[in-house]
């Protein structure tokens, strides 16, 4: 059973707290999956270098072993990327449903709340995430339709969903780019290393 069926098909009414808890869990899992992808990318680079050395040294048995490892790594990376995409889409949907539910509660619209829940139940969002190839456009179309059908405007939601942490991160990325463009490579490298260390520390705290 997918996350939307778990939340919206149970007997107990779904609350904003339920959505917040589910959203926190999805975001945590997504961060872990992104960390896994970074580790897989690092391992791919290591295997690639070892393959070059083995090929250069004429070590055929090592080449064969490394080739099999690279093929398996490619499969593992594909699965991890798919899972990361699913978690990202789940996070978007839960964020929008949470904001929608909060709006309807604030406006005192119990009938629209029930209508929204019924639309979500009938949307088939979980099924759209189960295929081998995740159809992101179909998922987003279904998500937006459930909100639009109960009169929730979504055009300006992206601005409302601004993340202060993201804004700070992008400021630091811009500072790195500006230093590089100005030829201050040592400064850019120091800023980048500091940002990488910060990300690692935050990941460790949340793991």
pLDDT in tens, 89-124: 999 999 999 989 998 998 898 899 999 999 998 988
pLDDT tens, position by position, 52-65:
999 999 999 999 99
| Structure confidence at residue 197 (pLDDT) | 81
For residue 28, the model assigns a pLDDT of 92
- Clarify whether residues 102 and 203 are in a common domain: no
Same domain assignment for residues 136 and 193? no
Residues 24 and 93 reside in one and the same domain: yes
139-181 pLDDT, tens digit each: 989 898 888 888 776 655 554 555 667 677 778 888 888 888 7
d(CA 24, CA 89): 14
What is the domain extent for residue 199?
Answer: 162-207
The answer to whether residue 24 scores a pLDDT higher than 70 is yes
Distance separating alpha carbons of residues 114 and 94, to the nearest angstrom = 16
- Written as six digits, the tokens of 112 are 């629209």
Contact assessment for residue 119 and residue 9, using Cβ atoms and an 8 Å cutoff? no
Q: Using a CB cutoff of 8 Å and minimum separation of 24, what contacts does 1-7 make? A: 1/126, 2/125, 2/126, 2/127, 2/129, 2/130, 3/90, 3/94, 3/126, 4/93, 4/120, 4/123, 4/125, 4/126, 5/126
Q: Are 2 and 26 in contact, with CB atoms under 8 Å apart?
A: no
Percent residues over pLDDT 90 in the chain? 34
170 and 145 housed in the same domain: no
The reply to whether 191 falls in a domain is yes
Domain for residue 107, yes or no? yes
Do 7 and 27 belong together in one domain? yes
Contacts of 175 (CB under 8 A, 6+ apart): 191
In this structure, is residue 7 part of a structural domain? yes
Q: Is residue 35 part of a domain?
A: yes
Q: How many domains does the chain have?
A: 2
Question: Based on the domain organization, do 69 and 169 belong to the same domain?
Answer: no
Are residues 113 and 53 part of one domain? yes
Do 138 and 185 lie in one domain? The reply is: no
Residue 204 has pLDDT above 70, yes or no: no
Question: Does 185 fall in a domain?
Answer: yes
User: Rounded CA gap, 115 and 147, in Å?
Assistant: 10
> What is the Cα–Cα distance from 140 to 190, expressed in whole angstroms?
39
Helix (H) or strand (E) holding 84: helix 60-107
Nearest 5 degrees, angle CA 142-CA 86-CA 16? 65
CB-based contacts of 2, cutoff 8 Å, min separation 6? 125, 126, 127, 129, 130
Check whether residue 68 and residue 147 sit in a common domain. yes
Q: Which tokens go with 124?
A: 């088939």
């Amino acid at each position: 059973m997918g996350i939307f069926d778990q939340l919206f098909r149970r007997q107990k009414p779904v609350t904003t707290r339920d959505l917040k808890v589910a959203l926190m869990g999805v975001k945590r899992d997504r961060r872990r999956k992104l960390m896994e992808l970074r580790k897989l990318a690092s391992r791919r680079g290591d295997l690639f270098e070892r393959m070059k050395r083995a090929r250069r040294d004429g070590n055929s048995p090592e080449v064969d072993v490394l080739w099999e490892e690279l093929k398996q790594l490619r499969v593992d990376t594909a699965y991890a990327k798919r899972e990361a995409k699913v978690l990202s889409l789940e996070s978007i949907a839960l964020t929008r449903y949470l904001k929608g539910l909060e709006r309807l509660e604030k406006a005192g619209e119990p009938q629209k709340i029930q209508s929204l829940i019924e639309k979500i139940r009938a949307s088939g969002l979980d099924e759209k995430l189960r295929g081998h190839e995740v159809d992101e456009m179909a998922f987003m179309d279904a998500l937006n339709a459930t909100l639009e059908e109960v009169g929730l405007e979504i055009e300006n939601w992206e601005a409302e969903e601004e993340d202060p942490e993201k804004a700070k991160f992008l400021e630091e990325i811009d500072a790195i780019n500006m230093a590089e463009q100005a030829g201050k490579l040592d400064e850019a490298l120091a800023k980048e290393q500091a940002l990488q260390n910060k990300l690692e520390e935050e990941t460790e705290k949340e793991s």
